[in-house]
A and B are shown apart, each in its own frame.
Chain A
Amino acid sequence: MAKNTPQPNQDAPAGTTVSRRDFLSLGAGALGLVGFLQTGGMALQFLAPRRVDGEFGGVVTVGSAESFPPGSVTEFPDGRFFLARASDGGFLAISRRCTHLGCAVSWHATPGQFACPCHGSHFDLRGNVENPPAPRALDTYPITVRDGVLLVDTAQAWQRDRFAPEQLVYV
Chain B
Amino acid sequence: MTWLNEMIDRLRYRSVPPSEDRHRMRAVANNIVLHLHPTRVPASALRFSRTWGLGGISALLSVLLIITGVLLMFRYDASIERAYPAVLAIETVIPFGSLLRGIHHWAGNLLMITVVLHMVRVFAAGGFRGERRMNWVVGLGMLVLVLIFNFTGYLLPWDQLAFWAITVGTGLLTYVPLAGQAISDFLLGGPEVAQSALRNFYALHVALLPVVLIFGLSYHFWRVRKDGGVTIPPQTEQAPKLTTIPHLVTAELGVALVTLAGLLIFAMAVPTPLEALANPAHPPNPAKAAWYFLGVQELLLHMHPLAALALAGIGLLGLAVLPLWDRDSSDEGVYFRSATGQRAGMLGATFALVLTPLLVLVDDLWLDLPALLAPISTLISNGLLPLMLTLGGLAGIYAGMRGALRARHSEALVGLFSFVMVALVVLTAVGIWFRGPNMALVWPF
Interface size class of B (residues with CB under 8 A): 35 or more
What's the Cα separation between A57 and B185 when bound, in Å? 14
Do A118 and B286 have beta carbons less than 8 Å apart? yes
Do B192 and A118 have beta carbons less than 8 Å apart? no
Do B195 and A55 have beta carbons less than 8 Å apart? yes
What chain B residues lie within 8 Å of A132 (beta carbons)?
370, 378
A106 lies within 8 A of chain B by Cβ: yes
If A48-B186, A120-B440 touch, whether A103 touches B164 (CB-CB below 8 Å) is yes
What chain B residues lie within 8 Å of A96 (beta carbons)?
281
Chain B, 142-164, CB within 8 A of any chain A CB: 164
A6 lies within 8 A of chain B by Cβ: no
What's the Cα separation between A165 and B167 when bound, in Å? 31
What's the Cα separation between A119 and B164 when bound, in Å? 12
- Which single member of A55, A77, A117, A135 contacts B284 (CB below 8 Å)? A117
Do B438 and A117 have beta carbons less than 8 Å apart? yes
Interface string of B333-357 (1 = CB under 8 A from A): 0000000000000000000000000
Do A50 and B370 have beta carbons less than 8 Å apart? no
Do A100 and B186 have beta carbons less than 8 Å apart? no
A2 lies within 8 A of chain B by Cβ: no
Shortest C-beta distance, B250 to chain A (Å), equals: 47
Chain A, 113-137, CB within 8 A of any chain B CB: 116-120, 132-133, 135
What's the Cα separation between A101 and B300 when bound, in Å? 10
- Which single member of A50, A119, A133 contacts B190 (CB below 8 Å)? A50
What's the Cα separation between A35 and B281 when bound, in Å? 45
Do B192 and A97 have beta carbons less than 8 Å apart? yes
What chain A residues lie within 8 Å of B190 (beta carbons)?
49-52, 55, 57
Do B301 and A103 have beta carbons less than 8 Å apart? no
- Which single member of A50, A52, A103, A119 contacts B167 (CB below 8 Å)? A103
What chain A residues lie within 8 Å of B439 (beta carbons)?
118-120
- Which single member of A56, A77, A103, A133 contacts B283 (CB below 8 Å)? A103
14 contacts between A and B (CB under 8 A): A49-B188, A49-B190, A57-B190, A57-B191, A101-B172, A103-B164, A103-B287, A106-B281, A117-B284, A117-B285, A117-B287, A118-B164, A119-B286, A120-B438
Binding site for B on A (CB under 8 A): 47-52, 55-57, 77, 80, 96-97, 100-104, 106, 116-120, 132-133, 135, 157
